[in-house]
Amino acid sequence: MTAATSNVTIIPMGRPSVSNFDLETAILAMTMDRIESMDNQLAGMMEKMKNKNQKAANYNLVMQELNKIKNSFANDAKSGDKIPDGGKQYKDSLEKALATAGIKLDKSFDDMTKGEIENAINKVQGLVDENNNTSQMDQLQLQSLISKRNSMFETASTVMKKIIDSLMSIIGNMR
């Protein structure tokens, strides 16, 4: 008796090798890989934008608290005047907002003056503006990535249509 040999090749599970496909199928596989990669990039960008939006909300909360304190000063208050008693009620909420936003003031709250409150407002406004500018750049990158992803879907659709047309032609020729 002779032993039978087999031509069966065991291929590990996962994505098939592009070298095993015809040209259209290889292009489709590469296009789908690129779409998957873009989906991962989109997820990362969305998370980054979510974090920036949270940062903006935290900065705005600090601005609100600082403005409440600024508004507690009398209209004729000088730049060197200390925070009035009416403004001291906002100490805890300001400190909480500062901690959440990751901002530190140059002085302790009790030692601050009207001028220093105004400077702190300007500093936080600068952080808000910087965050907004980088968010706009991120939105442009996101739009570009979405456009590229849509283009990849169009390519995949075109390749799939060609594959189907080829198969239909072969079936038609067999009849």
Taking CA 28 as the corner, what is the angle to CA 27 and CA 29, rounded to the nearest 5 degrees? Answer: 90
DSSP state of 17: P
Summarised one tens digit per residue, pLDDT across range 24-73 is 788 888 888 998 999 999 999 999 999 999 999 999 999 999 999 999 99
Listed by start position, the domains of the chain span 39-165
* Joined tokens for residue 82: 């200390």
| Residues near 159 by beta carbon (within 8 Å), at least 6 away in sequence | 24, 27, 28, 31
Summarised one tens digit per residue, pLDDT across range 104-139 is 988 888 889 999 999 999 999 999 999 999 999 999
Taking CA 159 as the corner, what is the angle to CA 158 and CA 163, rounded to the nearest 5 degrees? Answer: 120
pTM exceeding the 0.85 threshold for the entire prediction: no
By CB atoms closer than 10 A (0-12, 13-18, 19+), residue 95 is middle
* Joined tokens for residue 59: 């900065």
